[in-house]
Amino acid sequence: MSLVPSVPPVPPVTLVSAQPYDFELPTQHCALVIIDMQRDFLEPGGFGDALGNDVLRLQAIVPALKTLLTACRAQGMTIVHTIECHRPDLSDCPPAKLKRGEGSLKIGDRGGMGRILIAGEPGNGIIDDLAPLPGEIVLEKPGKGAFCRTPFEALLQERGITHLLLTGVTTEVCVQTTMREANDRGYECLLVEDCTESYFAAFKEATLAMVTAQGGIVGWTAPSTNVLAAMNWNVLA
Ligand code: C5J
């Protein structure tokens, strides 16, 4: 897949064809937020696998997300990558989170890619295809939502960000939690349909339906091709 650049220039506010209605996208005040595209969730031997999930399901979104990331970078947008992780001594992991689950491996245990969900371990890093570039925000978060015990809101405010394009995994856990937290803080949020995935197809479908219900009670959804089109990018197959 390749991108053909923008002609004519994108206006300060462009419209994305979205559900439940068009999303106004002010590109200079918008951040692309990529949630937890970590080996711990996408590859065998990590946290997702330890919980009994088919982690390969999540890899299907990588090409579309990579294309969107390329376009947003070219647009000069703020890029935020989140990582769900804990300190090696687990001091930032609530006992309830540590105890949860019935898998053979728990947070902090040694798995096939190092200690599970621990900052700095090989499995905790972002996958190579979506590796952050210098200057992009890499936000470590101990919870499911990106606003919980992190400087996320302050970082967005410093940059004058009012709108978020949400992507990543998993749709109904960290992505939806972050979208709801952002919505309550007054951010306009669009969840990019083909750039988010769940271990459970029905949960993804339900999340897309519930965030846009009641006139967009939590926000908007749209396929990445609609976001790219709004920014005057054409995707060639
Ligand atoms: C989960 C996440 N599913 N990134 N984390 O535990 O959604």
Output the pLDDT for position 10.
Answer: 75
173 CB under 6 A from ligand 1? Answer: yes
| Residue of 233, 225, 191, 219 whose CA lies nearest to 63 | 225
Q: Write out pLDDT tens, residues 13-34.
A: 899 999 999 999 999 999 999 9
Give the H or E element holding residue 209. helix 201-216
Q: Write out pLDDT tens, residues 101-111.
A: 887 789 999 99
Where b means 16+ CB within 10 Å and e means fewer, 82-93 reads bbbbbeeebeeb
Contacts of 34 (CB under 8 A, 6+ apart): 65, 69, 79, 80, 81, 82, 130, 167, 168
| d(CA 78, ligand 1 centre) in Å | 23
DSSP codes joined into one string, 36-104: --BHHHHSTTSHHHHTT--GGGGGGGHHHHHHHHHHHHHTT-EEEEEEE-B-TT-TTS-HHHHH---SS
- Our answer to whether residue 89 is catalytic in this structure is no
| d(CA 29, ligand 1 centre) in Å | 27
pLDDT band at 3 (very low <50, low <70, confident <90, very high): confident
Which of 173, 191, 199, 203 most suits a substitution to test ligand 1, by most atoms within 8 Å of the C-beta?
Answer: 173
Ligand 1 atom with least separation from CA of 168:
4
| d(CA 144, ligand 1 centre) in Å | 6
| d(CA 11, ligand 1 centre) in Å | 36
Output the pLDDT for position 125.
Answer: 98
Contacts of 23 (CB under 8 A, 6+ apart): 15, 16, 188, 190, 220, 222
40 CB under 6 A from ligand 1? Answer: no
| Averaged pLDDT for residues 62-78 | 96
Query: Percentage of residues in the chain with pLDDT exceeding 70?
Result: 96
pTM of the model: 0.95
- Our answer to whether residue 144 is catalytic in this structure is no
Summary mean pLDDT of the chain: 94
174 CB under 6 A from ligand 1? Answer: yes
Residue 97 contacts residue 107 (beta carbons within 8 Å): yes
38 CB under 6 A from ligand 1? Answer: no
- Our answer to whether residue 141 is catalytic in this structure is yes
| d(CA 233, ligand 1 centre) in Å | 31
Output the pLDDT for position 132.
Answer: 98
Q: Write out pLDDT tens, residues 161-175.
A: 999 999 999 999 999
Find the helix packing angle between 176-184 and 201-216, rounded to 10°.
20
| Residue of 129, 115, 215 whose CA lies nearest to 168 | 129
